[in-house]
Amino acid sequence: MDEDILPSSPLESEEKQSTEASSNSEADERIDLELDRIRDRRENPGQSFMYNTVVPQTFDDYTLVFGLIAGLVFFGSITIASSGLILGNSIAIDDTLSGTPLDPNDCVDKRGEVWIDTWVDHDDLQIESHNAPPSSSSVISVFVWNVTSWTDNDPQTEPIPVIEFRVGGLGDLESELSKEDLVDGDYHVRIIFFYSENSSNDWSDLPEDEISEKQNESLSLEGEPGFTIKELEIELHTSDSSSLFGSGEEHRKMEEFDDEKRACLTIQRMGVWGWGLMGAEWVGGRETAMLTGGNAEIPPWYMAIVSLGMSVFFLCVQYPLMHRLYHRETDDILSSEQMKRLICRTIENACKRLQIKPDLESIRVQDRAISVDVFLPYSTTRKTIMSPIEMKGTIIKDILNEFRIFGEMRPLQVKTVCTDSNDDSGEILDLDTLGEVSLADDYSVFFSSIGQFGQLEESFRESMSRWFRKHDVADYGSAIMADEDAVFVRVIYRPVMKFAYFLFKPTYEHLQGDLRTQLGSDLEHLLEGRELVVSARNEKSTLGDRAVAGRVEQGSEEHTGEAMVAKRDGIPGALLQNPFMGDILSSVEYVAHKNRKRIDKYGFWGLIVFVWIPFMASGVLVGAMLGLVARMRFQRVLAACFIGGTAASVTWAYTARGIIEVMERYHAEAFIPFIILLAVGFTWLKIRDNKRHRREELFKDSMSFFAGASN
């Protein structure tokens, strides 16, 4: 019984430690087997579209092909239409669909006639003629009567206009009736546009009385001159602004009452408006585009088609590319345990090449939804010649390469800490000096080593001169050091060509390997069996360059850090990992993560509503990324985004004009441009806030993790 409470003997402690080590080893071997199976599946996917074959294999491949064809047809049609090359003057489409449920407002054909267009802009009446011969002498005459004084006079006689003015020139003309020339009240406006091909004189610089005289002379000539008349009513009133725009301030409003039907759009004009609507949607979202088109009386069916065409193209092209970049099968998703083991064994292999000793027991890995953070303490050896930044870049490169294979696209942040003690065994060699040589009674070995090193250094300098010329780089620091076990070479170079950042293609890995091969050949007779350790780096390279990252995100002054995403090859990587698209995708991914709980709760129908309802930055691309994050099936995400995007385009297209009419009814149409700018501003602010919040969340938590791991 006493034996049961006796302390463990040293032998028992050793057996316990051995058992724990064996258990850890067995667990590592099990995880390694799992990782190897996943690696094999990822590296041997068979025939992959746009990698090994151009023949579509899966549903997402066919979706991508459909998106490319749809985009080619859509953008090609808008381009051809706006150029006017084919049926540019035809109104067949607008004329056929106007007056139908697709467009309740009818239009008229005004192509073969000279006509006058009027509209209110900034509470002034704008007047513009169309289709006048370019070389004809033209006059716009404007007559304005006060409706009250007109009704008070004899109905047989026409009263004198309160305003009468003319504008002359060549071809089509423009004019303006300012609200400042009238007092509040109701007015009748008559606009006469006169043009005569019998005279080639330009009347634009003549006074109004001479223009009137020449007009009367032309009217008296034989042969009826060309002219057209338009009559309309306008109303001017003064009202107090609402509290939203400043209570107590008076504002004068002009309202136009014109029963004339709108002119049918030609195919060329529809094409021009197509580019305008796309630009407005790209800058300020779907809402901005619809309000802009509705204010210009663009048919709602056409606004819906333009918006839907953009949605189909971006959804069917970018979603399959995002799916290929981000999606992994359930069995291929790494658990936190597998992630830590993958990182640890990658670090072990990298440290062997770097000649450093990692503290495997102190490695910390933070596996979170937005990033993977790694804290690595290490110590150096006598063969360590790389700088800390080079070692960190190499370790990150190796981990990112593993991430690429395993399909891990989260940003990686790594903090390395050198834990060398003050004893000589842990110090990094100083290659700028040869160190001190202790005195000895027998100086023959000392002078022999000096002579051998002199030959080695001379041969090194000659070989390096050839290497610098060969690669067109300049020497920014090269050194050689030798001991009884190894010869250490460290080189810092810099390209000498102009625009080297864009034109200098060789990586430091390529040049380092070439340098090792050349020195191994040139110094072979002087190495005498010693190991050749070579380090070469570009003086202008950054940590992202050394790590060969696909995308790099920088922290701010308050939240410092550098997060890197694994580089993906092929078309998806080239299209989605450039700085512009990478910035957009990172924000889209962040919004998707923030809204994942909603989709997890409401599923397919929740995704439809999310894309449909005009949340800020909730278009089809955000919806597609949200479906990816929620691990919904490709077909369900595509269907939900397509249904939601179509509903949003149609809803906004057919309500935009109604919104504008309501605003006009309450005399608030002057604020339509303000609302459009407000929508653009809110969209831009929302995108900026998303980027700022994501950066804070990405780097702030990582800084706290690294600080805790260091302590």
Of 263, 289, 317, which residue constitutes the final position of a domain? 263
Separation of alpha carbons 316 and 313, rounded Å: 5
CA neighbor of 667 nearest in space, from 232, 190, 299, 250: 250
**492 domain-assigned:** yes
Residues 91, 182: one domain?
Answer: no
Structure tokens of 355?
Answer: 């000649």
Residues 499, 624: one domain?
Answer: no
- Rank 255-269, 350-364, 562-576, 649-663 by mean pLDDT and report only the highest: 350-364
pLDDT at res. 431: 44
Residues 226, 276: one domain?
Answer: no
Residues 88, 129: one domain?
Answer: no
Question: Which residue's structure tokens are 């800390």?
Answer: 388
**22 domain-assigned:** no
Question: Which residue's structure tokens are 């607008």?
Answer: 94
Label residue 244 exposed, middle or buried (CB < 10 Å: 0-12, 13-18, 19+): exposed
- Which one is predicted more confidently, 105 or 423? 105
- Which one is predicted more confidently, 267 or 679? 267
Share of the chain above pLDDT 70, in %: 70
**352 domain-assigned:** no
- Rank 217-231, 365-379, 623-637 by mean pLDDT and report only the highest: 365-379
Which of 161-170, 394-403, 431-440 has the least mean pLDDT?
431-440
Eight-state DSSP code of residue 416: E
Per-residue pLDDT band at 664 (split at 50, 70, 90): low
- Which one is predicted more confidently, 11 or 151? 151
Which of 362-376, 513-527, 604-618 has the least mean pLDDT?
604-618
- Whole-number average pLDDT of the chain: 76
pLDDT at res. 382: 80
Q: Is the pLDDT of residue 445 over 80?
A: no
**408 domain-assigned:** no
Q: Strand, coil or helix: what is 375?
A: strand
- Measured in whole angstroms, the distance separating CA 384 from the mean position of its chain's CA atoms is 41
Secondary element (H or E) of residue 240: strand 226-240
Share of the chain above pLDDT 90, in %: 6
**563 domain-assigned:** no
Segment 87-102 shows an average pLDDT of 86
Structure tokens of 159?
Answer: 């009263």
pLDDT (tens digit, 9 = 90+) per residue, 183-242?
A: 888 899 988 888 877 655 556 666 666 666 666 655 554 445 677 888 889 888 887 654
**364 domain-assigned:** no
Separation of alpha carbons 515 and 521, rounded Å: 10
Segment 64-69 shows an average pLDDT of 91
Q: Is the pLDDT of residue 620 over 90?
A: no
Question: Under 8 Å CB-to-CB from 423, ≥6 apart: which residues?
Answer: none
Residues 254, 284: one domain?
Answer: no
134, 143 contact by CB (below 8 A): no
Q: Is the pLDDT of residue 75 over 90?
A: yes
Residues 507, 631: one domain?
Answer: no
**23 domain-assigned:** no
Q: Using alpha carbons, list the distances in angstroms from residue 356 to 228, 360, 578.
A: 90, 12, 34
Of 210, 229, 263, which residue constitutes the final position of a domain? 263
CA neighbor of 142 nearest in space, from 11, 232, 33: 232
Structure tokens of 108?
Answer: 């008229």
Residues 482, 534: one domain?
Answer: yes
| Beta-carbon count within 10 A of 350 CB | 19
User: Residue 526 belongs to a domain with what CATH number?
Assistant: 3.30.300
- Which one is predicted more confidently, 247 or 151? 151
**What is the span of the domain harbouring residue 164?**
111-263
- Which one is predicted more confidently, 443 or 87? 87
Q: Is the pLDDT of residue 440 over 80?
A: no
Residues 703, 619: one domain?
Answer: yes
Per-residue pLDDT band at 306 (split at 50, 70, 90): very high
Greatest Cα pair distance in the chain: 138
* Tally of residues, the chain: 711
pLDDT at res. 501: 53
- Which one is predicted more confidently, 276 or 4? 276
402, 346 contact by CB (below 8 A): yes
Per-residue pLDDT band at 80 (split at 50, 70, 90): very high
Q: What is the dihedral of CA 585, 586, 587, 588, to 10 degrees?
A: 40
Residues 244, 271: one domain?
Answer: no
> How many Cα atoms occupy the beta-carbon half-sphere of 369 within 13 Å?
11
366 forms beta bridges with 373
| Beta-carbon count within 10 A of 657 CB | 21
pLDDT (tens digit, 9 = 90+) per residue, 667-692?
A: 555 555 666 566 666 666 766 777 77
pLDDT at res. 562: 78
- Which one is predicted more confidently, 241 or 580? 580
530, 484 contact by CB (below 8 A): yes
- Which one is predicted more confidently, 10 or 494? 494
Per-residue pLDDT band at 1 (split at 50, 70, 90): very low
| Beta-carbon count within 10 A of 389 CB | 14
Of 211, 231, 263, which residue constitutes the final position of a domain? 263
pLDDT (tens digit, 9 = 90+) per residue, 646-662?
A: 988 888 888 876 766 66
Q: Is the pLDDT of residue 20 over 70?
A: no
Separation of alpha carbons 647 and 652, rounded Å: 8
Per-residue pLDDT band at 154 (split at 50, 70, 90): low
**405 domain-assigned:** no
Q: Is the pLDDT of residue 601 over 80?
A: no
Residues 115, 248: one domain?
Answer: yes
Residues 285, 306: one domain?
Answer: yes
534, 479 contact by CB (below 8 A): no
Domain count, the chain: 3
pLDDT at res. 196: 77
How open is the CA angle 257-265-658, to the nearest 5 degrees?
45
Residues 515, 495: one domain?
Answer: yes
Q: Strand, coil or helix: what is 520?
A: helix
Segment 83-96 shows an average pLDDT of 85
